[in-house]
Structure 1
Amino acid sequence: MANTGLQVMGLVLGVAGWAFGILVCATPWWRVSAFVGDELVVSQVLWEGLWMTCLSQWGRLQCKVYDSGLALTGSTQTCRALCVLSLLLCFFALPLCVVGLKCTRCLGDAHESKARLVRAGAILFLLAAFFFLLPVCWTAYVVIRDFYDPNVAAPLKRELGPSLYLGWGVTVLMLVGGAVSYLGSTSPGVPAMPVFGRRGKVNPPPTTTESKPEKVFV
């Protein structure tokens, strides 16, 4: 039978991952300018994200949205698409998990149908975590690769922004939420022993042997 506590806990974790995922996707804190070499100007900090760049100077922050999405690199466009796909999967998983909760009355007493809806929503949360993890890990890899590349000029080097660390936390929330929701909607009952032989014949009927009357010799 489904566990209401696990279902609610998984739903809360999944919604939290979805909300923080929207924040990570929208913020420009994916990459930050690195001060390496003999660079003297440290009052300007450049932040770069998927949708905009921000320049912080003397406590003032100025942000600008990218003029053209097609002018961006293929890596940035792919990261955009994967993040949006992940958030859409969470959006579709949310109503499935809410309707399929054991404590709701949306489908009456159809417990098995409700459990299937929760399992479908849990799988969507797991897929969302996978698709959100890809752009975060790829961006971190590119930043680290360019930082240690001697052919990249010092002003073009970047460091890992706080959005990447928050993105890894978002994937954990989605993964745990999906796993807990799936476990909370599974039935623990399992048949003790498998049945072999003809269908519907569990135990063979007892064989009776006719007892012949014994001959009595006088």
Structure 2
Amino acid sequence: MANTAMQLVALITSIIGMIGTLSATIMPHWRITAHIGANVVTAIVYMKGLWWACAMFSTGVFQCETYNSVLELPADLQTARAMMVISVALSLLAITISVVGMKCTVCARDSPIKDKIAGTGGVFFIVAGLTGLVPVAWTMNGVILNFNNPLIPGDLKFEIDRHMKPGH
């Protein structure tokens, strides 16, 4: 019984993780910068994500624009897009495989390979997690390196969203 409960908790946790990966893939908060003009009225926050770039004005207007062409995008952004989509797809596949291998399901009941099916789902979860972790770490590394680069003007430097930092 404890094994079944652990499997259910692991499945729920993995579904939450997949939803988190999907939302990180969609949201434009990968790179963020703030430009404050001569007064607060002209304050603009620029955000760049995998799929679009957005601007939020101090008046509350939020405007997003998709990238015009995939071929115009830098290679790191194209790679991050692909890896995040693959991560979500692998997570969905892992959820499906894991449900088949769980002890509380009737799929493949009394089959000697049921535990191996569950293990295969776990391996897919690990691969999906690593596939999602690499582009996030790669992007954050680029943001940090560019932020500390003295050759880049201050209004062109991006940073990590302050709402995403631990402790806020």
Q: Which is helix-richer, 1 or 2?
A: 2
Residue of structure 1 in register with 2:22 after alignment: 22
Residue of structure 2 in register with 1:82 after alignment: 83
Residue of structure 2 in register with 1:8 after alignment: 8
Contact 2:7-2:102 within 8 A present in 1 as well: yes
Contact 1:55-1:63 within 8 A present in 2 as well: yes
Letter in 2 for 1:65: T
**Shift of the alpha carbon at 1:108?**
2.3
Contact 1:34-1:159 within 8 A present in 2 as well: no
Alignment of 1:150-189 (within 5 A): 150-161=150-161
Residue of structure 2 in register with 1:52 after alignment: 52
Letter in 2 for 1:87: V
Q: Provide structure 2 residue ranges, at least 5 long, that are not aligned to the other structure.
A: none
Residue of structure 1 in register with 2:110 after alignment: 109
- Residues 2 and 114 (structure 1), Cα distance of their counterparts in 2 relative to 1, 3 Å cut: farther
Q: Provide structure 1 residue ranges, at least 5 long, that are not aligned to the other structure.
A: 167-218
Contact 1:54-1:62 within 8 A present in 2 as well: yes
Letter in 2 for 1:55: A
**Shift of the alpha carbon at 1:164?**
6.6
**Shift of the alpha carbon at 1:95?**
1.0
- Residues 162 and 129 (structure 1), Cα distance of their counterparts in 2 relative to 1, 3 Å cut: farther
Contact 1:86-1:129 within 8 A present in 2 as well: yes
Q: Which protein, 1 or 2, shows the higher relative CO under an 8 Å CA cutoff with sep ≥ 6? A: 1
TM norm structure 2:
0.89
Aligned length in residues: 163
Tell me, in whole angstroms, the C-alpha distance in 2 between the residues paired with 1:80 and 1:19.
16
Residue of structure 1 in register with 2:70 after alignment: 69
SS in structure 2 opposite 1:96?
helix
Contact 1:30-1:164 within 8 A present in 2 as well: no
Alignment of 1:91-106 (within 5 A): 91-106=92-107
Runs of 4+ in 1 over 6 A off after TM superposition: none
- Residues 120 and 41 (structure 1), Cα distance of their counterparts in 2 relative to 1, 3 Å cut: farther
Contact 2:34-2:44 within 8 A present in 1 as well: no
Tell me, in whole angstroms, the C-alpha distance in 2 between the residues paired with 1:127 and 1:162.
29
Letter in 2 for 1:81: A
Tell me, in whole angstroms, the C-alpha distance in 1 between the residues paired with 2:163 and 2:27.
7
Tell me, in whole angstroms, the C-alpha distance in 1 between the residues paired with 2:24 and 2:18.
10
Letter in 2 for 1:118: A
- Residues 164 and 21 (structure 1), Cα distance of their counterparts in 2 relative to 1, 3 Å cut: farther
Taking only aligned residues, the RMSD between alpha carbons, in angstroms, comes to 2.2
Alignment of 1:118-129 (within 5 A): 118-129=118-129
**Shift of the alpha carbon at 1:2?**
8.7
**Shift of the alpha carbon at 1:34?**
4.2
